[in-house]
Amino acid sequence: MVFLDFDFTFKSSQKPNQLNRKRWRIRTGHTKPNLGRLNNPPDWREVLDHFKGTELQGYFTHLRVEGLKVVNKPQWVQRIPKVVQGNVGQLLSQVDARDMKQELAADLDLIQIMDRDLKSLSAGELQRFAIAFAALQNADVYLFDEPSSLLDVKQRLKAAQVIRSLVRPKNYVIVADHDLCVLEYLSDFVCCLYGRPGKYGVATLPFSVREGIDIFLAGFIPTENLRFRDEPLKLAETPQESAEEIETRASYKYPTMTMTRGNFRLKVLEGEFTDSQIIVLLGENGTGKTTFIDILAGFLKPDSVEGSDVEIPKFKFSYKFISDVMEPLLIKELMDKKLLDLSVGELHKVALTVCLGRRPVDIYLIDEPSSYLDSEQCIVVSKVIKRFIRRIKKPAFVVEHDFIMATYLADRLLTGMNLFLSRLDLTCRRDPTNFLPRFNKLESTEDREQKSTGCHYYLDD
């Protein structure tokens, strides 16, 4: 059984990161549910009676009486080297568990870093190590907190497949994540969680995957006749501009370029873009997306350029964007706070606001705008970027791994997306109601049908 929840908070005065740790401590048995009684907490007998007749009664009974072994993949993997020392291979070999070390190491791209110390790993490499370390153990309960963060699209889906392989008839696999595409690809059931960050949280009963996603996006729970969001989350179809309108835009080109950094070599084939156009850069981590962005920004100089230099537009532009950017991103609520007091997600939104608010600007280069944001915030940020770029009529290059954000932002989509998904052996269809992309489960009817036609990304359901 696989559950995946979205935005979980607790009724408490603690900070969000402390609440997140307490959430997982309840599931591991280290913290006892207080049933809302802060001054007179119940004992375990009262807790079990409270959940009588539910799945939680059985879970907590097994946890307390039978001593279930719980394995937790933490959210903040960057902290792992502070408490664990050693290299990747040594640590994985110490796991007295499942005989799948080589297979998992290959699936999670760990083979080439087996001799490296944890302190030298990137955040994405630490994430894959943490997933492998948890998955290798024989456990009754597996908890994965945001396994898709810091990973590219291919790595996210590989991680999802690894987590799916852990499911057994008598164990629990619980995942918290914000990537809705990974959610659908991974889960058997979905619990939607809603509330106010740092104030309170409410969890629904499990729904089927499709129903759970639709409920979360709609912001309405029909079984309880309850609305937890004023407006549904929907990536509305973007009106296509006519050929005449596109022809009136200024066009810019960049030449074929190469860039070498140590053992890494990047080659960029010549291309072109126009005003008011968003180009999304898709690809695995370490393939040069950020390097390409830095070349366009002028932070790095390419080794060789075949042809003329990069032709970047030169304009001066003044634009008030409070209603377009600051209000949707809730920046006004942060104006009186110090940067040191902001969460990582809040800092990320502030950085995006500063980027879009700079003047004069000729081209916008945005690197992974979905990082550290939950699924609702990702959709809001996607709309903000697209609306802003269309309105000011400036070009933008966006590096992104969140598939929903990438497909929504990209102005050149179908051919590139078909090529990208074919290399991952994946198929995806777009929901006709909310226009969100949805991965087909491997070897499903939809997956086989789309592969047979060569259409890995299907626009109309």
Domain coordinates of the chain in residue numbers? Answer: 2-31+69-227, 243-412
- Can you tell me the distance from the alpha carbon of 116 to that of 81, in angstroms, rounded to the nearest whole number? 12
48/58 Cα distance (integer angstroms): 8
Q: Is the Cα torsion angle 216, 217, 221, 226 positive or negative in sign?
A: positive
Spatial contact of 61 and 48, defined as CB atoms under 8 Å apart: yes
Q: What is the DSSP-derived secondary structure letter of residue 436?
A: -
Q: What tokens were used for 406?
A: 């990438």
**CA dihedral defined by 437, 442, 448, 453, rounded to 10 degrees?**
50
Q: Which two tokens stand for residue 242?
A: 């006519």
Closest CA to 149 of 189, 177, 118, 170: 177
Maximum Cα interatomic distance, the chain, rounded to a whole number of Å: 76
For residue 357, the model assigns a pLDDT of 87
If DSSP codes are grouped into helix, strand and coil, which group holds residue 84? coil
77-to-25, 147, 448 alpha-carbon distances in Å: 17, 10, 36
Domains 2-31+69-227 and 243-412 share a fold: yes
Per the DSSP assignment, residues forming a β-bridge with 156 are none
Sequence length of the chain is 461
Q: For residue 278, how many other CB atoms are within 10 A of its CB?
A: 20
pLDDT tens-digit profile, the chain (461 residues) = 343 333 322 223 333 344 445 555 676 667 788 888 888 888 888 888 988 887 788 888 888 777 788 899 988 898 899 888 899 988 988 875 555 677 888 889 999 899 999 998 888 899 999 999 999 998 899 999 999 988 988 899 899 999 999 999 888 899 988 898 888 888 999 999 888 876 778 888 889 998 999 999 999 999 999 999 888 887 766 555 555 566 667 788 888 999 998 888 999 999 888 888 899 998 888 888 989 988 888 888 899 888 765 555 544 334 467 888 999 999 988 888 888 888 888 899 999 998 998 877 889 999 999 988 888 899 999 999 999 998 888 999 999 989 889 988 988 777 788 888 888 888 998 887 777 888 888 888 989 999 999 899 876 64
Decide: helix, strand or coil at residue 356.
helix
Query: What is the DSSP code (8-state) at residue 117?
Result: B
**CA 273 to chain centroid:** 27
The DSSP symbol for 72 reads E
Angle 28-29-35 from CA coordinates, rounded to 5°: 115
Contact 321, 391 (CB under 8 A): no
- Residues 60-79 as b or e (16 or more Cβ within 10 Å = b): bebbeeeebebbbbbbbbee
Instruction: Determine how β-strand 251-254 pairs with β-strand 226-227.
Output: unpaired
Q: Please provide residue 153's backbone torsions phi and psi, each rounded to the nearest 5 degrees.
A: -60, -45
Helix (H) or strand (E) holding 142: strand 141-145
What is the CATH code for 243-412?
A: 3.40.50.300
Within its chain, how far is the Cα of 220 from the centroid? 23
| pLDDT at residue number 127 | 94
Q: Which of 100, 101, 27, 31 is nearest to 70 (CA)?
A: 27
* CA–CA separation, 418 and 408 (whole Å): 15
CA dihedral 77, 81, 86, 87 (to 10 degrees): 50
Selecting from 3.40.1180.10, 3.40.50.300, 3.40.50.720, 1.10.287.610, what CATH number does the domain 2-31+69-227 have? 3.40.50.300
| Beta carbons of 309 and 255 less than 8 angstroms apart | yes
* CA nearest to 380, candidates 354, 348, 412, 427: 348
Nearest to 277, CA basis, from 406, 363, 394: 394
